[in-house]
Amino acid sequence: MNPIMSLVMLIISFFLVTLLNTIISKNIKHLKREIPWHHYLFGYFFIFYLMITLILVGFPSLSQWKFCLSINKPIFNPHINLVPFKDGFDITNILNIVLFIPFGFLLPTLWKKYRNLKLTFCYGLFFTVFIEVSQLFTTSRTTDIDDIIMNIIGAICGWIIFNIVKNIFSKFANKTVIDICSSDNLAIKLEPYLYILIAIVCAFFQ
């Protein structure tokens, strides 16, 4: 991993989120709605979290693939564990829980529909499964069922923490969230997924 390139791609991810925010803010005026600045601020926290997470889990990168090809090593390197807790429960499991707590916290902070635990669970499941599948294309990572289980537990813990905090700071929690409506344009409807897409693209090209 090149720290300088990782920093560059982090900055680019912030730029792309700013571009997305500009598009949304211009289009939202036509709907006579307003998105508070608190929502955009927490959006930057979210993209920062996503980028750091993908870097920490060893998400495959273009530079890594080029290196593998240059030494005639395959890009596809499957190391799979489908047996839960085959090696017991250790600090790695705890770290995987901690890693996904911000995910479960920030989703309902930003978007009202994720104040539904089922939707947060589904999005968390999609993200962690995507990460684990991507690790089939790395040289030193294992696609592990334990990671999926622990990450989901972390997302649920984050959701629970959000609801505790929300009850204490209800006014502020209502300023950070937006409720996506059927009349909203495509940029607003896809906003939760575009954050993930931006992070994936930037992490891959680091």
The answer to whether residue 179 scores a pLDDT higher than 90 is no
Q: Tell me, what's the pLDDT at 30? A: 64
Query: What's the pTM?
Result: 0.93
Domain that holds residue 176: 3-204
The string of pLDDT tens digits covering residues 56-78 is 998 999 988 988 888 888 898 88
- Tally the domains of the chain: 1
Q: Tell me, what's the pLDDT at 24? A: 86
Secondary structure string (H, E, C) spanning 158-185? HHHHHHHHHHHCHHHHHHHCECCCCCCC
The string of pLDDT tens digits covering residues 85-124 is 888 888 999 999 999 999 999 999 999 999 999 999 999 9
pLDDT band at 146 (very low <50, low <70, confident <90, very high): very high
Which contacts (CB < 8 Å, 24+ apart) does range 124-129 have? 124/100, 124/151, 124/152, 124/155, 124/156, 125/152, 127/103, 127/151, 127/196, 128/100, 128/152, 128/155
